[in-house]
Amino acid sequence: MRRVKLLAVAAVLAVSVASSATPATATGSAFDSDLVAGRYMVVLESGSLPGRIAAAHEALYGVEVSHVYRHALQGYAAAMSAGTADRIASLPGVDWVEQDRIVRATAQTLPTGINRADADLSPTAQINGVDQRVAADVAVLDTGVSLNHPDLNVNTAGGRNCIISLLNANDDHGHGSHVAGTIGALDNSAGVVGVAPGARIWPVKVLNAVGAGLVSQIVCGIDYVTSKAGQIDVANMSLTGGGSDDGNCGNTNNDTEHRAICASVAAGITYVVAAGNNASNAANSIPAAYDEVMTVSALADFNGLPGGGAAATCSSDQDDTFASFSNFGPDVDIIAPGVCIYSTTSGSSYATMSGTSMASPHVAGAAALYRAVNPTASPAQVRQALLSAGNTGWTNSDDPDGIKEPLLNVATF
């Protein structure tokens, strides 16, 4: 019998957001409290007909299907008993059944992060107070995005609500809108400006009004983004939870989210994710641990300039150093400003937040800039371009692993 796998995803919003999953063992896990009784994800063999199979399982076993996955993987999410989950896991054509877990959100002036990344020098960004929009599309998998914010270019005709499918993806929390503003707030002489001003934002709501959601809802978002692979260039996931990379796209440790992301990256979408805010090794958080994504740690920067010495504006961190809360380790690819970041938020307002959730969208915006002038670039080519353009002009004395990852810089993009 195929085993039913337990997975956890937790994201923290205090001042940022990230998403991940942690497989639990039979002896239990620190993430077991996030398991949702009676809710499972069924992953089918490639080439299956998920809609028909889900309907058949509804009729035969009485499961209540909430999502059908057709693009990033074949499968469905449903309410069912543990006994039914075990029975379905043993059926031919079923790769695995994974118990669902709760996911939680982690968080015109020239914002310090935009300044530090030299976005104001980018010939593609053209930051000069004139609304000339970057020709790129970025999906924000988060709490939604404020659909009518005057400083955002939101694709209101697109997007997906994976929390309540009949509703639009409007942000009822604020975190997703903050992320979206750092990526692409308009260069319009009002409010703030993003790394890739005016990039079209696709709102994908996978977290609810209190910044929480389920792994099945995250997979729903990834599945939607994959279905739009011909239009969406970049996806940002400021979400995190316990888990690890099996080095096999989730096929060894039955990680549904990992399988979905691998397929989405293979379809041409660059994924940028937050490292997490636990001051621990990112190898123990997903999607941060996945090799297929760009994982971003956070820099404390209070004036947008190198050299340090600026007074802290909203935290006890030292200027120009590794943020005290940021996860670290070999799985981190790049660092970007993530402390005291000013950006758009719910409705038509603005707010300051901190976290690797705020660092990640700086890199997502950079990826959008690169794709705007290199529209056929693969995710691997985007990654290499961003890493090559980064610099080491920051102090890593507070970085626990001593690895000085490149600091985001888009001056030549």
**What's the alpha-carbon Rg for the chain, to the nearest Å?**
20
Query: How many Cα atoms are found within 13 Å in the side-chain-facing hemisphere of 389?
Result: 22
Beta-carbon count within 10 A of 310 CB: 16
Distance, in Å, from the CA atom of 317 to the CA atom of 300, rounded to the nearest integer, reads 6
Is residue 362 part of the annotated active site? The answer reads no
Q: Strand pairing partners for 336?
A: 298
Distance, in Å, from the CA atom of 76 to the CA atom of 53, rounded to the nearest integer, reads 9
Is residue 57 part of the annotated active site? The answer reads no
Is residue 357 part of the annotated active site? The answer reads yes
Q: Which of 34, 118, 142, 255 is catalytic?
A: 142
Q: Which of 16, 343, 357, 360 is catalytic?
A: 357
Q: Kindly tell me the burial class for residue 328, based on how many C-beta atoms sit within 10 Å of its own C-beta (0-12, 13-18, 19 or more).
A: buried
Whether residue 287 is preceded by a cis peptide bond, meaning omega within 30 degrees of 0, is: yes
Pair 85, 99: CB distance under 8 Å: yes
Buried b (16+ CB within 10 A) or exposed e, 77-97: bbbbeeebbebbbebeebbbb
Distance, in Å, from the CA atom of 220 to the CA atom of 226, rounded to the nearest integer, reads 10
Pair 413, 134: CB distance under 8 Å: no
Token pair listed for 196 = 């890739």
Which positions ≥6 away from 341 have C-beta within 8 Å? 111, 112, 113, 178, 182, 352, 353, 354, 358
Distance, in Å, from the CA atom of 153 to the CA atom of 247, rounded to the nearest integer, reads 37
Distance, in Å, from the CA atom of 95 to the CA atom of 45, rounded to the nearest integer, reads 6
Q: Which of 67, 149, 173, 175 is catalytic?
A: 175
What length does the chain have? Answer: 413
Where in the sequence numbering do the catalytic residues fall? 142, 175, 357
